[in-house]
Amino acid sequence: MVNTGGPLFWSSQETHRQPRTFKRHNGQHRWPSILEFSGNPSPATNRRSKVQALKEERIESLQMAAEAATIPLLTPYKLGKFNLSHRVVLAPMGRLRSYGDVPQPHAILYYSQRTSKGGLLIAEAAGVSDTAQGFPDAPGIWTKQQVEAWKPIVDAVHAKGGVFFCQIFHVGRVSNQGFQPNGQAPISSTDKPLTPQNEANGIDVADFTPPRRLRIEEIPQIVNDFRLAARNAIEAGFDGVEIHGAHGYLIDQFMKDEVNDRTDQYGGSLENRCRFALEVVEAVANEIGADRVGIRLSPFADYMESGDSDPNALGLYMAESLNKYGILYCHMVEPRMKTAEEISDCPHSLVPMRKAFKGSFFVAGGYQREDGNKAIAEDRADLVVFGRLFLANPDLPKRFKLNAPLNKYNRDTFYTSDPVVGYSDYPFLEDNA
């Protein structure tokens, strides 16, 4: 499963065991020394113990630095004003457990489990308006209730020292009238219908209502919806937002020439097809600051019948154009991920886009520990985004550090609505000990 910024699940009914309590020194975990249990030592003993503790911490710090030096994914990185302790990023994976489009308390545990001090997490895609939805129980961020529901989730991530971005999106034609206000048709760059697709569970078929082509005068309102959603994300406490411009959703429907058949200023040429995406970027950057904005793009992907005849040109044009706005990062999906499920051989590369974009560059798409390390070591990316592996391994950075075995993910529970199973019940290393 590729992290499409929408749905993911799984869980036994066993209570998750909490790791044993231990002390924290300079952000590092250390077992209490015997001196801390020995009553009231003399001043001289206290002085010696403090010196010894400082020596131990220094040695531990040097050991960790030496280990990280051999594991590129675990080296620190300065992402704008955010000091990251490693380069393993939680992907924005839709989990479809936000009942009634409102984030739920069980998400507090899910996200906090996957938080490490100085780690970056990108939340599942949140709809920017009531026309933006196309999945059952996907979260939104356009109402006050939704904003308030996100706050304790964000607080939990911050309490553990994490950096948290909110992905914001509009599904466009990947919807049907059952998700739309007043049963209206979904909106898109086109009126071309999307053929029925197998849903994430591989059994049910999703039917899509033929979309309505947006009129030119309506487009500024959609841009404004993204701007307000970004403002709401900051109000909820998020450190920034990622604009979802990938995987066949509305922004992608404007950019890709296999979908966009417009003849006005939003269609035809590459510049025209990218106009809507860049207007959204500009509006969001102006609202919350470019240093809090990222964007996700998948120029090579053909999700939801959204392919392009020249993905190299599209990716390069967007990478170069984004520099004008000075946004924090560009997050691109590898060309090998043409579909959501399979890695395929591909002669194309994201290196030209990485070289063209002046901000931080993220890559995603089927990465494992070895090729993630290689991407960082070869300077093909600044950070690597992990979806399925992080879903099934809440302590993924630690497992990478120790080169420990990974839990296997259960695809059958990616998108179910259970608040525990396949969600917060994947075990930590301590649970397997």
pLDDT at residue 264 in the model: 98
Are 420 and 106 in contact by the 8 Å Cβ rule? The answer is yes
Which residues in the chain come in under a pLDDT of 70?
Answer: 1-48, 53, 55-69, 199-205, 337-347, 432-433
Measure CA 192 to chain center: 29
pLDDT at residue 162 in the model: 98
Tokens of 204: 């049910």
Catalytic residues: 249
CB within 8 Å of 123: residues ≥ 6 apart? 92, 111, 153, 164, 165, 166, 167, 238
pLDDT at residue 192 in the model: 96
Sign of CA dihedral 191, 261, 295, 426: positive
Q: What are the pLDDT digits (tens) for 294-331?
A: 999 999 999 999 999 999 999 999 999 999 999 999 99
The 8-class DSSP code of residue 10 comes to: B
| Concatenated DSSP letters of 306-365 | ---S-HHHHHHHHHHHHGGGT-SEEEEE-TT-SSSS-----S--SHHHHHH--SEEEEES
Q: What are the pLDDT digits (tens) for 83-127?
A: 999 999 999 999 999 999 999 999 999 999 999 999 999 999 999
Measure CA 35 to chain center: 44
CA distance 143 to 28: 39
Look up the pTM and report it: 0.84
